[in-house]
Amino acid sequence: MLELAILGLLQEAPMHGYELRKELTAKLGAIRAAISYGSLYPTLRRLQAAGWITEAAETPATAEEVPALTSRRGRVVYTITAEGKERFAQLIAQTGPETYGDTGFGVHFAFFSRTDRATRLRILEGRRRTIEERREGLRDMLGRAAERLDAYTLELQRHGLEACEREVRWLEELIANERSGRAPTVPNDGTAGGRREDNSPPPPGESRKERP
């Protein structure tokens, strides 16, 4: 997952580690807290070894200017290679069970603007399927096994169920939009394009975890 995200970001511009982490956090802020350096740097090393990216110490301009008495500290800038772009295209197009999990889906979705429509639809539908199954599991739990669970656990399930229902609705909308040709939901500019009660209850924290 991290590999995909890094490759995707470096495709927009070369960056050094710290910057990469910030951009990563910005782009994926909705689905996961913050990428740890403990995963970022080893992954960068791995990508470089595989030839998907190259790393280069930042050059201190022309060396003429500011002769670097304060020897410029080692900032390492990472750049994606042609093979890396290929790799990204391959990763973004291939879907599997992990694509539909909370984290996997979030990362794929964040790069939908670099994904072709057919793949987008495949992912959205797979995700919907996954959430529908989770929803059915929770429904069963709340129906059949309810008396075996305490009130708090029940409340947690109820909350989770609601989140599932809400996400399915969201996905349905996105799927309809994809089919009808437009990009994601048209940003509601207040009035015109409107859905009526749009800013009522959304799904609670369900599309992340994961950190589960």
Binding site residues, its own copies, CB under 8 A: 26-27, 29-33, 101-103, 106, 109-113, 131, 134, 137-139, 141-143, 145-147, 149-157, 159-167, 169-170, 174, 183-188, 198-212
Q: How far is the CB of 38 from its own copies (least distance, A)?
A: 14
- The CA distances from residue 103 to 28, 52, 90, 107, in Å, are 9, 22, 19, 6
Q: Which burial class, exposed, middle or buried, applies to 104 when counting CB atoms under 10 A from its CB (0-12, 13-18, 19+)? A: buried
* Residue 176 Cβ vs its own copies, minimum distance, rounded to whole Å: 14
Residue 70 Cβ vs DNA, minimum distance, rounded to whole Å? 4
Taking Cα atoms as reference points, which of 14, 6, 183, 144 lies closest to residue 88?
6
Q: Which one, of 57, 47, 53, lies nearest residue 10 by Cα?
A: 53
User: Would you say 96 or 181 has its CB closer to DNA?
Assistant: 96
Q: Which residues bind DNA (CB under 7 A)?
A: 1-3, 16-19, 32-39, 41-43, 45-46, 70, 72-76, 96-98, 101, 211-212
